């Protein structure tokens, strides 16, 4: 599983697909969504504008990703 860190509150699915290299241009997103199986938190998704938030699990053609906030310090100890 690959961890994808974002600086904003959310990232849209189309932006995510470009970020991880599944598509190179925004115009390719619609075709990619039509021809691929994309699950968000175990539910099939076809909307390119779907907002992805930290904690969301994305599966694209059996490859898994998880969204994390870049400033997430849950894995570090507070002193």
pLDDT digit string, tens, across residues 18-57:
999 999 988 899 999 999 999 999 999 999 999 999 999 9
- Domain coordinates in residue numbering, the chain: 2-64
In the predicted model, is pLDDT for residue 2 greater than 50? yes
pLDDT digit string, tens, across residues 54-72:
999 999 988 999 999 987 5
In the predicted model, is pLDDT for residue 15 greater than 90? yes
Dist. CA 12–CA 33, nearest whole Å? 13
**Cβ(5)–Cβ(56) under 8 Å?**
no
Architecture of domain 2-64: Roll (3.10)
Residue 78 is predicted with a pLDDT of 36
Residue 72 is predicted with a pLDDT of 55
């Amino acid at each position: 599983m690959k961890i994808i860190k974002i600086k904003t509150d959310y990232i849209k699915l189309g932006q995510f697909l470009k970020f991880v290299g599944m598509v190179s241009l925004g115009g390719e997103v619609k075709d990619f969504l039509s021809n691929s199986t994309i699950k968000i938190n175990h539910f099939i998704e076809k909307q390119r504008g779907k907002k992805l938030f930290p904690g969301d699990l994305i599966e694209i053609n059996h490859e898994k990703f998880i969204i994390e906030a870049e400033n997430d310090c849950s894995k570090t100890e507070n002193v």
